[in-house]
Amino acid sequence: MSVSAEASYQLRYGGQPVGEPSAEWTEVLAQQLAHRSVRRYRADDQVSDETLTALIAAAQSAPTSGNLQLWSVVAVRDDARRRRLAVLAGEQDFIAQAPLFLVWLADLARARQVTSSVGSPTAEGADFVEAALLSFIDTALAAQNASLAAESLGLGTVFVGAIRNNPLEVAAELGLPPNVFPVFGLTIGHPDELVETAVKPRLPQEAVLHREQYASEPPTAHLENYEDVLNGFYAAAGLPESWAQRVAHRFGSVAGLKGREHLRAALLDRGFQLR
């Protein structure tokens, strides 16, 4: 991938002004800034076991707090199982279409087992919010490494948070033991070249970057500019406009959570005590 820093910044920020592009530009930076969601895959191209091995190795190379490695992943190739998971994740058909669906798991079961094996049968420390938080962070870091690795191999990916709409049903489908929780999915496949996906502009850096201390003044002007930029992106993609309305739809009422308002109860059911 030989894309210049200037071109990469232009795509990632939708032409919004940005500071001086990096003078030390690398293929990794270019790959990261080129990330896009891919929801259409070539049906006749599978993801090989050799590629899966490389993706998991990349995932395991991500940082992990204290080398605890509090995550696992289930690779789903079976057509019928992917279709069932697609239904559980909000009827998202691209899950069934993708040749490989990885379900990423916060896994405290292994840590409890290891702790018990060395003479601490209660594993009391795993009952606290800190343990759950560590497992979710570990899972996210690992999955992002795998996604970037997949994209570097010419594959397309998209994360699926809707796995959390029905986490208990997903756990049953995947045969998860207690103390293991499905955090999100990741579809992987060869992009359908007939369906191009664009780089979605992100918020300007001034809206997310704080120097030394969190700026108390809300970045109103930057958010308004971003709304205009993203409305142009949505219009070109034939999607409903307004980023602000999307944020409000998610957080303005409980209905926007689409069942995820019950996550605490689901976590408790799966053995995450959250003390």
Q: Looking up tokens 């940082």, which residue turns up?
A: 63
* Residue 86 pLDDT level (bands cut at 50, 70, 90): very high
* Residue 17 pLDDT level (bands cut at 50, 70, 90): confident
pLDDT of residue 5: 87
Output the pTM of the full model: 0.93
Take residue 72 and report the two structure tokens written for it. 């696992």
Per residue in 168-194, pLDDT (tens digit) is 999 999 999 999 999 999 999 999 987
DSSP letter string, 127-141: GSHHHHHHHHHHHHH
For residue 243, pLDDT beyond 80: yes
Residue 156 to residue 40: CA distance in whole angstroms:
9
Domains in the chain, start-ordered, CATH in brackets?
Answer: 1-34 (no CATH), 37-195 (3.40.109.10)
Residue 198 CB contacts under 8 Å (≥ 6 apart), including other chains: 36, 233, 236, 237
Mean pLDDT of the chain: 92
pLDDT of residue 262: 94
* Residue 20 pLDDT level (bands cut at 50, 70, 90): confident
* Residue 228 pLDDT level (bands cut at 50, 70, 90): very high
Per residue in 99-148, pLDDT (tens digit) is 999 999 999 999 999 999 988 788 898 999 999 999 999 999 999 999 99
pLDDT of residue 195: 77
Q: Could you tell me how far CA 49 lies from the centroid of its own chain? A: 22
Take residue 216 and report the two structure tokens written for it. 């108390």
What values do phi and psi take at 183, rounded to 5?
A: -95, -45
Per the document, the length of the chain is 275
Residue 90 to residue 84: CA distance in whole angstroms:
10
Residue 263 to residue 202: CA distance in whole angstroms:
28
- Give first-to-last CA distance, the chain, whole Å: 47
For residue 216, pLDDT beyond 90: no
From residue 167, how far is each of 10, 16, 100, 210, 259 by CA, in Å?
38, 38, 19, 35, 10
Residue 39 to residue 214: CA distance in whole angstroms:
36
Q: Taking residues 24-42, what's their average pLDDT?
A: 91
Q: Taking residues 14-26, what's their average pLDDT?
A: 79
Residue 82 CB contacts under 8 Å (≥ 6 apart), including other chains: 76, 95, 96, 98, 101
pLDDT of residue 2: 66
Residue 139 to residue 148: CA distance in whole angstroms:
14
